[in-house]
Amino acid sequence: MSVVTYESADNIAVITINRPEKRNALSVQVVEELAAAWHRLNASDDRVAVLTAAGDAAFSVGADLNDIPHDLWRAVPGIGVEVEKPIVGAVAGWVVGGGFVFANQCDLLVAADNTTFLYPEAKVGFSGGLISSLATRIPHKLAMEVLLVGEAFSVQRAYEAGYVNKVVPVGQQREAALEYARKLADNAPLVLQLLKRFAGQVVPKGPSELAGIARRDVDFVTGSADLKEGLASFKEKRKPAFQGR
């Protein structure tokens, strides 16, 4: 059974983490299917994506401790998959750990008024570090409080810090995100992609993000048909016929 859904209409993709019974915890399957969804978005005629989750209790409570995705970075847009199309996040309830990372990567973010952000890794004793670029998205001292103290970050404070674009009554976050998405879908897609790419180049990335991007690019080469052709030609003592894929 799929745990991530992809709906497409009017050049808008709605990508939904669909594990409400587990408060949308991030499992190995969620990571695999989210990564596939971003690739599908890239290959589609959709111009913008809305990233959301089933239910209003939690966008995601972070990693599923019974099925920990040690390669979470592979599903994070801009890290595991390069996504130049705009992404509008629609969150509600708890946004914890890895869920916070996904919210961090959205270009616009709509939050229900019951939303609470939490990054508790300093209290758990583990961190992958993907959240470090939070310090480029809100004031530094506030980011350090959120990350190092590890206490709840209210939606009102997030809005005041400019982290959230709009706060709406719980249950209305998806429609509010779609309102943004419809406006974006009507705009020139090449300009949207250009501006997102240029803006991304001036937003600093943390070490874990850079490592993930490097791993993504290396994996692309090591999984390519050209590598198979190169190895085969070496064994067969012939000139390789590379295709660039």
Question: What integer pLDDT is reported at residue 160 of this predicted model?
Answer: 98
Instruction: Please say if the pLDDT value at position 230 is more than 90.
Output: no
Distance CA 169, CA 113 (A): 5
Cβ-based neighbours of 3, under 8 Å, separated by 6 or more: 17, 18, 19, 27, 29, 30, 33
pLDDT, one tens digit per residue, over 108-141 is 999 999 999 999 999 988 889 999 999 999 999 9
| pLDDT at residue 97, as a whole number | 96
What pLDDT is stored for residue 126 in this prediction? 85
Report pLDDT for 114.
98
Stretch 196-210: mean pLDDT: 94
Nearest to 202 by CA among 133, 100, 132: 133
> What is the model's pLDDT at position 83?
98
Confidence of residue 2 (pLDDT cuts 50, 70, 90): very high
Task: For residues 9-33, give the mean pLDDT.
Answer: 98
Residue 39 token pair:
């690739």
Closest C-alpha to 15, from 39, 1, 25, 28: 39
Neighbours of 31 (CB within 10 A): 25
Round to whole Å and give the CA distance between 51 and 15: 5
Query: How many Å apart are CA 190 and CA 213, to the nearest integer?
Result: 23
Q: List domains and CATH numbers for the chain.
A: 4-205 (3.90.226.10)
Continuous H helices in 44-151: 98-105, 121-124, 140-144
CA–CA distance, 11 with 110 (Å, rounded to integer): 20
* Paired sense of beta strands 153-154 and 58-60, if any: unpaired
Mean pLDDT on 47-54? 98
Nearest to 92 by CA among 63, 56, 117, 118: 56
Per the prediction, the chain carries an average pLDDT of: 96
What is the pLDDT, as a whole number, of residue 116? Answer: 98
In the predicted model, what is the mean pLDDT of residues 187-199?
A: 97
Q: Report residue 4's pLDDT band, with 50, 70 and 90 as the boundaries.
A: very high
Strand 58-60 and strand 48-53: the pairing is unpaired
Q: For tokens 């874990």, what's the residue?
A: 208
What is the per-residue pLDDT across 57-80, written as a single tens digit (0 to 9) for each?
999 999 999 999 999 999 999 999
Whether the Cβ atoms of residue 225 and residue 245 lie closer than 8 Å to each other = yes
| Residue 19 confidence (pLDDT) above 90 | yes
Residues contacting 30, CB < 8 A, separation 6+: 3, 4, 17, 19, 24, 64, 69, 75
Q: Which of 13-27, 154-168, 224-238 has the lowest mean pLDDT?
A: 224-238
CA proximity to 95, closest of 115, 122, 72: 115
